[in-house]
Chain A
Amino acid sequence: MSNGRGDSVRVERITKRYGSKTALDDVSLDVAAGEFISLLGPSGSGKTTTLMSIAGFVLCDSGSIVIGDRSMDGVPAEKRGLGFVFQSYALFPHLSVARNVSYPLEIRKLPRAQIKDKVREALDMVHLPESEYGGRMPESLSGGQRQRVALARALVFEPRVLLMDEPLSALDRRLRETMLLEFRRLHRELSTTIIYVTHDQSEAVSMSDRIAVFNNGTIQQVGTPYEIYNSPANEFVAHFIGEANILPTSSYRGDGVWLATGPGGEEVAVPGSGVDIVAGAQYSLMVRPEKLRVVPPGQGSLTGTIDDVVYAGDHRRIRVQTPVGMMFVKADDTAAGATVVRGAQLDLGWEVADAIPVQRQRAG
């Protein structure tokens, strides 16, 4: 069940309602020991409620949480032994940095000398030397330093699972990137299981072993960042991770050809993968903007009128109005010699394997 210093976490069919609103609807998730998993989704999707349930801050109406091989039924938060890093850092403002970090050790009644050593090690680990920062008060630290202290405090008692709730969302972009690298390094060094809640897809993609995508209180898909990006389970996932062109279809004609349907009901045959489709389900085709190519006139799968062009240095973003809807293209500068200006005609092509069937979202 455990590997190195991480524990597995099993979330079994948890449901949580607040009044008439369902925050979590029968959510199950298996996190392997030592894994770095991100819970990704928009606000109100249930990712934070899931994290809070694991931590013991939220009690579910049904379902259970198992950490390692221990059921958490009836175990209060303070007995779960999990590290938790808050978006707000949640440092104790009346205690110095060293006292904040020693807090969990004092509760565990460790000998003073051992506490001193462990505090020093934990602060070293987050690059805040105890000699310099130990005596500082939290209010005198920058946001990034506070989050480092919070991290040291959450790790100093060597929890086997670390829960993080949007720990970087209060920091500016540069600092976020630095901290991301820090988190990865710490995860490598400690091999603690990390469950990381974020609404930022780039954070999730760059750090996680796996990502669980949440929406409307349910998990839409669990997979590696590669799987999530390249074979999203449905339109929501396709839209949420990266950019996606979605073409509603009416049917698969076989041989890599789909019938796409436009807003007016007109049908256009377009290339698309037929792998893994289930009879009876409604599909849309998803094509990533970078997989679309500008091709010479007459050779494309779809012809449209350029609606807008944005120059972005190493590429151009072209918005094309086609019979099956607006398409976004990320094109390099060569663009097959076509005239890329607003109003011009443009032919678009793509590989069969690059148009991936995704389950249509049910309305509502």
Chain B
Amino acid sequence: MLARISNRLLLVFLVAFLAAPTIAVVIVSFGNASVIQLPPKGFSLQWYGKVLTDPAWLAAIGRILMVSLLAVILAGTAGTMLAFAIARGGLSATTRKVFQVAAIFPLAIPPVVIALGGYTMWSRLGITNSIWSLVPLYAALGCPFVFLSALGVLEKVGTDLDQASASLGATRSYTLRRVTLPLILPAVLTGCGFALLTCMEEIVIALFLLGGHSETLPLKIYASLNFGVAPDIAAVTTLQIGLAVAVAIAGAVWSWLRQRRRQLVSHGEIDHDE
């Protein structure tokens, strides 16, 4: 009994320890003072108002969203294709290994290496201070998330379904559209979610490539710190946290809906012809 209580306490402590900084930031963002106050003297949404009406903050948010979404589309496509190549490409074991390591490489190396490499590459091409130059690098950063989750499902599913589909008369593209892609879609989207969050928080590469000319959101947060820690940073950060939570909730709701639909279908409550 005592052991159970102490285990519970330990768990609560750990969760609190992990969440404390986040909670502090969220609380501060709703404060009404012009400086960081914990606990705040009163409640207000003034910092959100300030952020959401400030063209500079809005532009930074717009930039990071645009860059990240483009990068995620690229990462999703490339990661899925890489997973297919490795799971279904009929490659030799050695080639597979090499590609597999290459595909998750961006996760393994420090961001500063990618940043330096990217900076060198782009300056050779004469492209500097362009927000678009971030997109391919962010795509590379996000690619492993999609690749790993898609590969997991493809390997689990195996080739029997492809063969079954072919034996029933389906061409490869029909099988891809009707069987394989629907099966790996949840995994691909999960990977894309992680990729999106990673891109939206990325600062090292942006710092190297943009050097403060046009700012992504993380860059602007970083730059604002030079002028002191103001509650508007807390508000922006809380918005970011909100996005992460939203992505997680969307994922959970979606998988719950799918599960529920399956149960309904299996009880015959939804016309299975549709």
Question: A residues within 8 Å of B by Cβ?
Answer: 55-57, 76-84, 86, 88, 90-94, 96, 98-99, 103-104, 107-108, 112, 116, 134-137, 140, 153-154, 157, 163
Contacts and interface: CB of A to CB of B under 8 A. Distances in A.
Which A-B residue pairs are the 3 nearest by beta carbons? A90-B164, A84-B167, A104-B168
Contact of A84 (B163, B265, B267): B163
A90 B265 CA distance: 20
Contacts of A76: 166
Contact of B268 (A77, A79, A86, A135): A135
A140 to B, nearest CB: 5
B11 interface: no
B167 A55 contact: yes
B164 A86 contact: yes
Contacts of B168: 78, 103-104, 107, 153-154, 157
A81 B182 contact: no
A157 B169 contact: yes
Interface of B: 158, 160-161, 163-171, 174, 178-179, 182-183, 262, 265-268, 270, 272-273
Nearest to A102: B273
A78 B267 contact: no
22 contacts: A55-B167, A77-B163, A78-B170, A82-B167, A83-B167, A84-B163, A90-B160, A90-B164, A92-B161, A92-B179, A103-B170, A104-B168, A107-B170, A108-B169, A116-B273, A134-B272, A135-B266, A135-B272, A136-B265, A140-B266, A154-B167, A157-B169
Contact of B169 (A81, A134, A140): A81
Contacts of B179: 92, 94
A137 B178 CA distance: 16
A151 B174 CA distance: 21
Given A94-B182, A98-B272, A98-B273, A137 B170 contact: no
A107 B178 CA distance: 11
Contacts of B158: 88
Contacts of A78: 166-171
Contact of A77 (B166, B266, B272): B166
A180 B228 CA distance: 79
Contacts, number: 80
Interface of chain B: mostly helix, strand, loop or mixed? helix
B132 to A, nearest CB: 37
Contact of A104 (B160, B163, B169): B169
A135 B168 CA distance: 20
Contacts of B268: 134-135
Given A98-B272, A137-B265, A88 B169 contact: no
A137 B272 CA distance: 10
Contact of A86 (B160, B171, B174, B183): B160
- The listed residue with most B CB atoms (<10 A of its CB), out of A81, A83, A96, A112, is A96
B224 to A, nearest CB: 47
Contacts of A79: 169
B272 A96 contact: yes
Contacts of B265: 96, 135-137
Nearest to A159: B167
A86 B162 CA distance: 12
A287 B225 CA distance: 93
Given A94-B182, A98-B272, A137 B166 contact: no
Contacts of A81: 169
Given A88-B160, A90-B160, A98-B273, A136 B167 contact: no
B163 to A, nearest CB: 5
B262 A137 contact: yes
B169 A137 contact: no
Contacts of B272: 96, 98-99, 134-135
B254 to A, nearest CB: 14
A96 B166 CA distance: 19
A12 to B, nearest CB: 22
Nearest to B258: A94
Contacts of B164: 84, 86, 90-92
Contact of B267 (A92, A135, A154): A135
Given A99-B272, A153-B168, A86 B266 contact: no
A135 B261 CA distance: 11
Contact of A136 (B166, B178, B266): B266
A57 B169 contact: no
B108 to A, nearest CB: 32
Most buried by A among B167, B267, B272: B167
A349 B160 CA distance: 52
A104 B168 CA distance: 5
Nearest to B159: A57
A140 B267 CA distance: 11
Given A92-B179, A98-B273, A104-B169, A57 B163 contact: yes
